[in-house]
Amino acid sequence: MIAISTDRRALARSHYGELARIGKALGSPIRLQLLDLLRQGARTVESLAEEAGISVANSSQHLQQMRSARLVTAERKGKHVEYRLAGEAVAAVFGTLRDLAELLLPEMHGLRHELGVLDPAEREEILARVREGSVTLLDVRPAREFAAGHLPGARSMPLAELPGRLRELPRDREVVAYCRGPYCPMASEAAAILRAAGFTARHLDLGFPDLSPRQLRPSAPPRRAVALEPRKAGKSR
């Protein structure tokens, strides 16, 4: 039997404490909302506070807690402090946490229904049309989020500007609106505005952080099988 020292066992257990730091930093609805906003791109404390509907002081406090857990980084730009995610892995953890909640918590099913979260078949059908380029793809998030990153081929038309810019859209193509992700209501609200104005419109419930460029590339057509002539006996190459 291999002997393991008490010190090494204690050291092995200590990594749970480090994991708990991440869990504690994520254990707040406000911090998760701020994290989701930062998935859309870097933002100042003031901008995050305004979008989240909280005070600047409260926003700053929550951001500092996430910073202490290394989930976000901060950079001073003039009079403002700009925050961003520490890396793509942080955005991925948010998506995984959301998927786990959908799998385990029955309350999430009611939220999915109320907010118009798509079933996988309809989502894939819309994505296929986006890949084909047969729809007009609208990003209805604020313009600064579009500038930070957006789906290929999308055009920026923030929700607040949409009613006054309908004439810019072709009426002979279906319009697909997207925003921040499955539980963001802006895309379904945009689709309702468009339908009321006579457009054929739907919403895509995935956002820029949820989709890689590879998922939106048109799939290559299957290669045609080439029939090989049977080799004749007695002939060699």
Whose tokens are 């945009």? That residue is 190
Annotation marks residue 184 as catalytic: no
- Of 113, 91, 93, residue with least CA distance to 42: 91
* CB 13 within 8 Å of CB 119: no
Of 72, 118, 176, 179, the active-site residue reads: 179
Rg (CA), the chain: 24
What are the tokens at 125? 């059908």
Query: Distance (Å, rounded) from C-alpha 141 to C-alpha 144?
Result: 8
Parallel, antiparallel, or unpaired for β 174-178 and 201-204? parallel
Query: Distance (Å, rounded) from C-alpha 127 to C-alpha 216?
Result: 7
Cα distances from 182 to residues 21, 108, 120, 172, 185, in angstroms, run 27, 11, 12, 27, 8
Separate counts of helices (H) and strands (E) for the chain: 10, 7
List of residues 6+ apart from 43 with CB closer than 8 A: 37, 51, 82, 83, 84, 144
Active-site residue list? 179
